[in-house]
Structure 1
């Protein structure tokens, strides 16, 4: 006797989405282990990790009603993936971005990184002023900004801008892709970006010293 796993199209789609979510978490765990073991290059790891993070956020957002808790989903399906959960739900950015080290610190490279950082600061602030406050709009902008700041060895991990942006990335990673910042959150993020930008510009003379 054939046993049906679903009774209608909607239920079938739900289980297929569950399978996709399960696969994304497992794939992220394997990717994290491959990176730690130096099986995959940093560039390939970062590209694949960014794709998995984006897929996870999009799917988790669409499954908000059926999967209100990712932790409960992981427990229900016996997923032992601590590295994946940290990357997808806590960090929200690839390890290469989170712990970026600069291979080349030439003045040309530093100048380019400074220009990129200024551009990302302005883009992020302008986007908020235009009321682009959805998580899937804000998160990539902050990730790009974090990556460009991380290319500058003169900026320590305690640099005000890096600390604030990292905190926001972590906060956004715990939200759904379609979620939106409240007016208060948007104003606070804009304030943090503005103060971080001013601190960044003030640090530039030191970087060139």
Structure 2
């Protein structure tokens, strides 16, 4: 009596007989192309780059909060990621497909709250935030003071950046792509002179955030331009007060 040959697969309570009419009509050995043209492929690669930037930026923010990365390394890496993000979205085709950050996150099921906030602000945390330490002269009230070792050349550069920005407004340069780089130069040069807070410093950050959320060619209204000029002039006076 012959023994029953063992099954080569695990038996199931239900049997399935393939229907030849439903068989795949494609060659399973053929490579599936995700893009039908080079332009479409470039678009997908750009969107993938944006996805990668968002995830990387979120991890970078977490590392900075945990002191797992130095301030200088964080600042350099964050600034580079923000620049890559803006450069990628400068392409109209990519920007149109991207729509906006919240739409992109929903589409690809991204959370990344820290990256979301950093992209909204558009500045590394080390540039956005100022130390709130104070210097107290004998018999006087606490005042701000220049950072230790601030050279005259750094003070001159910061002063020139303030004047350049205010002159740009007087020349009616009111678009985001004209003002945002100039105002970024202002806050970065100021931070090299002093790590103290001063009057209207926060206004610089607020306007940077406002400009960052505008489209590249979008322009400030006449009222906004006047308000911006007033706020930066006040910040300039506050900065000069730290030098006394």
CA separation of 1:99 and 1:191: change in aligned 2, threshold 3 A:
closer
Backbone CA RMSD of aligned residues: 2.7
Range with greater deviation from structure 2 (93-102 or 71-80):
93-102
The aligned residue for residue 166 of structure 1 is 205
The aligned residue for residue 94 of structure 1 is 124
Distance in 1 (CA, whole Å) between partners of 2:59 and 2:195 is 30
Distance in 2 (CA, whole Å) between partners of 1:173 and 1:194 is 20
SS at match of 2:36: coil
Distance in 1 (CA, whole Å) between partners of 2:195 and 2:43 is 46
- Structure 1 unmatched runs, 5+: none
Aligned positions of 1:35-114 closer than 5 A:
35-62=64-91, 63-89=94-120, 91-101=121-131, 105-106=147-148, 108-109=149-150, 114=155
TM-score (norm 2): 0.70
The aligned residue for residue 14 of structure 1 is 43
- Aligned counterpart in structure 2 of residue 147 of structure 1, from 156, 170, 188: 188
Distance in 2 (CA, whole Å) between partners of 1:183 and 1:172 is 12
TM-score (norm 1): 0.80
Distance in 1 (CA, whole Å) between partners of 2:56 and 2:173 is 31
CA separation of 1:76 and 1:154: change in aligned 2, threshold 3 A:
closer
Query: Which one has the bigger helix percentage?
Result: 1
Distance in 1 (CA, whole Å) between partners of 2:196 and 2:65 is 26
Contact 2:53 2:81 in 1 (8 A): yes
Deviations 1:26-68 (A, max 9, x none): 1111211222222221111111111111111222342332222
